[in-house]
């Protein structure tokens, strides 16, 4: 919406379970590509953009929580730590496929048990990698972000824009002084 590109949201039904020995980068790239592949089969003439984001703490993938207890455990582990956020996106049309990956580092401040319970009770962590949304109330816990904020939100826009421009999917304007 911010880039003024018309789009339609479609949610592909794919298994997001990490494969054995699969790292965070490989996971998000595989899932983004699988999502784009699935949707593009029924939308052959359209450009399909799919993305996937995950959190990694000391090499361990922290995907979406399975329940509130899992969300509590993830947030407890993330507090006072710096973790990696990996986002992969795939831009596909027919046989043309562009795969993008970006990584950012997010540091959480130390949180009380009551703060974590309050946040989990908002339900915002459910369905979010690492059990938080940086663009929502989860921002309350963030001490520092190194890298792209957009990548942490789930779409590495800084890396995506050059591809959108080269494919003529993004209009550019030149602003001239009065």
- Catalytic residue at 52? yes
Among residues 16, 131, 152, the alpha carbon closest in space to that of 65 is found at 131
Q: How far apart are CA 37 and CA 41, in angstroms?
A: 6
Among residues 51, 92, 86, 56, the alpha carbon closest in space to that of 74 is found at 56
Q: How far apart are CA 45 and CA 82, in angstroms?
A: 42
- Three-state DSSP state, 31: helix
Q: Looking at 37, 52, 67, 70, which residue is catalytic?
A: 52
Residue spans of beta strands (DSSP E) within the chain: 48-57, 60-62, 82-93, 96-108, 142-146
**Residues 115/138, Cβ–Cβ less than 8 Å:** no
Known catalytic residues? 52
């Amino acid at each position: 919406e911010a880039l003024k590109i018309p789009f339609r949201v479609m949610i592909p039904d794919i298994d997001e379970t990490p494969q054995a020995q699969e790292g965070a980068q490989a996971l998000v790239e595989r899932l983004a590509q699988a999502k784009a592949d699935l949707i593009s089969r029924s939308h052959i003439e359209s450009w399909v953009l799919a993305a996937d984001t995950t959190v990694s703490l000391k090499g361990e993938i922290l995907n979406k929580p399975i329940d509130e207890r899992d969300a509590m455990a993830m947030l407890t582990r993330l507090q006072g730590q710096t973790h990696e956020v990996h986002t992969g996106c795939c831009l596909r049309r027919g046989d043309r496929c562009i795969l993008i990956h970006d990584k950012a580092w997010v540091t959480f401040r130390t949180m009380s048990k009551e703060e974590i319970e309050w946040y989990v009770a908002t339900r915002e962590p459910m369905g979010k990698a690492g059990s938080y949304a940086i663009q929502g109330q989860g921002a309350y816990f963030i001490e520092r972000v190194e890298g792209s904020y957009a990548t942490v939100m789930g779409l590495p826009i800084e890396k995506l824009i050059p591809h959108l421009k080269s494919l003529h999917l993004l209009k550019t304007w030149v602003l001239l002084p009065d």
